[in-house]
Amino acid sequence: MDKKFAAQLFTVREELAKGIAPVFQEIKKMGWAGVQISALPQGYNPQEVADALKENQLGTAGMHISLDRLENDLENVVKEADLYGTKDIVCPYLPAEYQTAEGYKTVRKKLNEVAGQLPDYRISYHNHAFEFATEINGVSALEYLLEPVTENKVLAEIDVYWVKKGGQDPLAFIQPYANRMPIIHLKDMTNDEQETFAEIGTGKIDFIPILQWGERSGVEWYAVEQDVCPGKPLDSLALSLENLLKLKEKI
């Protein structure tokens, strides 16, 4: 299972701005098997990213691509996916104008159109908590976007922290997405009233049953993301991996 643990690069976005290769070297040195491509510096060179992946023998746990790029720059998105050796393309966020019932319907249609254009790739959606504020056809907007039916090609990339922040139980919520979630996002939640981001194994989320479910249900990558860290982001990633490896031994 440790070959499935990936560091989500949004965690180290400020470090990446100073240099991509050194960050990848540090991530590999910690023992991560891969990275999820995200938050690359403005004007980055895709070949530099690909070289850093190869030099450090890091796998690619998909890439986060904005809805705007999926609509307007799909050809280059595919070129990058091929360069990085991944078939997973994930829409990570929605602008405010899409956070309405009609907006979510439009997004589901758009993402299915992209999936139709790219039959050899997998298109997923990454959630936050705001999707739980809107109801469509009697379910949350997130459940609507990810509806596990044949005609819906949008796969899940559930972030367990945001599910809990949205008032749901992460383990219960992920059940319908067996074999429809190649990548899952792991981040912990602090035990205080703030319920903010925490390193894996230091907060209130029980990851053992989530990892057990993932191993039964087709999860290929466990991507760890910490939006805000109390100290150095690389230190937070190191602690999360250390604790994940301990949790793995209990499964």
In three-state secondary structure terms, 30 is helix
Tokens 């044949």 -> residue:
150
Tokens 């997004």 -> residue:
107
> Which pLDDT does position 52 carry in this prediction?
98
Which residue ranges make up each domain of the chain? 1-62
Neighbours of 96 (CB within 10 A): 8
Contact 251, 43 (CB under 8 A): no
Torsion (CA) 86, 61, 131, 215 in degrees, nearest 10: 120
In three-state secondary structure terms, 243 is helix
DSSP string computed for 64-129: E--HHHHHH-HHHHHHHHHHHT--EEEE----GGG-SHHHHHHHHHHHHHHHHH-TTSEEEEE--S
Q: Taking each helix axis from N to C terminus, what angle separates 20-30 and 46-55, rounded to the nearest 10 degrees?
A: 30
> Which pLDDT does position 34 carry in this prediction?
98
Tokens 């429809």 -> residue:
180
> Which pLDDT does position 125 carry in this prediction?
99
> Which pLDDT does position 36 carry in this prediction?
99
> Which pLDDT does position 242 carry in this prediction?
98
State the number of CA atoms in the 13 A half-sphere of 47 facing the CB.
0
Neighbours of 149 (CB within 10 A): 7
Residues 6+ apart with CB under 8 A from 236: 11, 199, 226, 229, 230
DSSP string computed for 170-192: HHHHHGGGTTS-SEEEE-EE-SS
> Which pLDDT does position 236 carry in this prediction?
98
Q: What is the pLDDT along the chain (251 residues), one digit of tens a residue?
A: 999 999 999 999 999 999 999 999 999 999 999 999 999 999 999 999 999 999 999 999 999 999 999 999 999 999 999 999 999 999 999 999 999 999 999 999 999 999 999 999 999 999 999 999 999 999 999 999 999 999 999 999 999 999 999 999 999 999 999 999 999 999 999 999 999 999 999 999 999 999 999 999 999 999 999 999 999 999 999 999 999 999 999 99
Full-model pTM: 0.98
- What's the sign of the alpha-carbon dihedral 141, 155, 41, 3? positive
